[in-house]
Amino acid sequence: MTLTIDRLSLHADGVAHGPEGTVHVAMVLPGEEVEGEVEAGRIAAPRILTPSADRVKPPCPHYRACGGCVLQHGSDGFVAGWKASVVLNALAQRGIEATVARVETSPEFSRRRATLAGRRTKKGTLVGFHARASDTLVEVPGCRILRPELLAMVPALQEATALGASRKGEIAFALTLSEAGVEIAAKGGKDMDPALFEALAGLARRHDLARLSWGEETVAARRPAQQVFGRARVTPPPGAFLQATAEGEAALVGFVRQAVGKAARVADLFAGCGTFALPLAETAEVHAVEGEAAMLAALDRGWREAQGLKRVTHEARDLFRRPLLPDEIGRFDAVVIDPPRAGAEAQIGEIAASRLGRLVHVSCNPVTFARDARRLLDAGFSLEELIVVDQFRWSAHVELAARFERR
């Protein structure tokens, strides 16, 4: 079947209209004419008959097999424009017109946080990323998105897989680069016993890990696995959320600080370990609200040990079930909110009902952001500034930050 690609889906598949309905096509660009066998509404291995001017040679030899990247066949300019269009289209679906001020794209070899999978095989072990839409694992030597320090840990992951993976199970290894080196948080392995603990502790020494955890148990904490947030040094819990690249974090923090402006009292909702709260505390008093008490404890320790920061208070609170109410929100000059992919529908409703004048919204899901933005605009806010931050280079993942002002 020969088809012309109309657009890309939210997952970066090509979308075309065939005789029997919509067809999804892998690794193509809008406007391209392609040919291939359609199975279950999809062409998995298309032949490109008429390539787009934006088509480039994928720089990674693993691209066709690995599922970590889906857009290496598009030019940098195309990918940045497409990610901006994803945000603008989501807003347009809610009747919102906006302009993306800029797209901040992290460079190659910049991911300081990633999850690789490990599995035992008849021949030994296999460590890598999952293939596209598959549970097959693909080894990725020379991966072009990971920091070299993370890629250098593959031998350690292979050893840990041999030690702790069941015959049929798979271990998820969350790798994070800290100021003290690499930490590994493993999930899905065998239950801990004394022999496994001793073997893993030896692995941590041999591979010079800053920290190694297995399930809920910390096996080795050889050095504090610290992250720098402004003037503070914070040691998050094992496997805790961290912005994927240092460059992406700097772009988001810079936007948030500028958007908050001279606000004297700021609430940071879904604060995590203090990515925004601690830099903001250089100029404002901050109240950090987060559902995970361990993350707030790390934030608090980092604040107490830092020099020159204003007061930071914190509160462990499930903002989905118990959002801040309008009278609580009214104590602040500005609010920063960075919810998970589901968005913050309940909390946005309370913000809309409050008298808050300035909101800075960071989001990793344009669809739920657009839903929440519609609620804010209907309550009298205006969308004043919007940027796109691409920390997950060559993926379909889109992040953004926006400043809302109440008219």
Residues annotated within the binding site for S-adenosyl-L-methionine are 243, 270, 290, 338
Q: Establish whether 60 is a catalytic residue.
A: no
At 8, list the tokens. 């890309």
Q: Determine the residue type at 166.
A: S
Binding positions = 243, 270, 290, 338
Q: Determine the residue type at 214.
A: W
**Distance between CA 157 and CA 154 in Å, rounded?**
5
Strands 285-290 and 265-269: parallel
Q: Would you give the end-to-end CA distance of the chain in angstroms?
A: 53
Q: Which of 60, 66, 143, 364 is catalytic?
A: 364
Which of left, alpha, beta for 253 (phi over 0: left; psi -120 to 50: alpha)? alpha
Asked if 406 and 84 touch (Cβ cutoff 8 Å), the reply is: no
Exposure class string for 16-29: b at 16+ Cβ within 10 A, else e: beeeeeebbbbbbb
**Distance between CA 97 and CA 121 in Å, rounded?**
52
Q: Which residues are catalytic?
A: 364
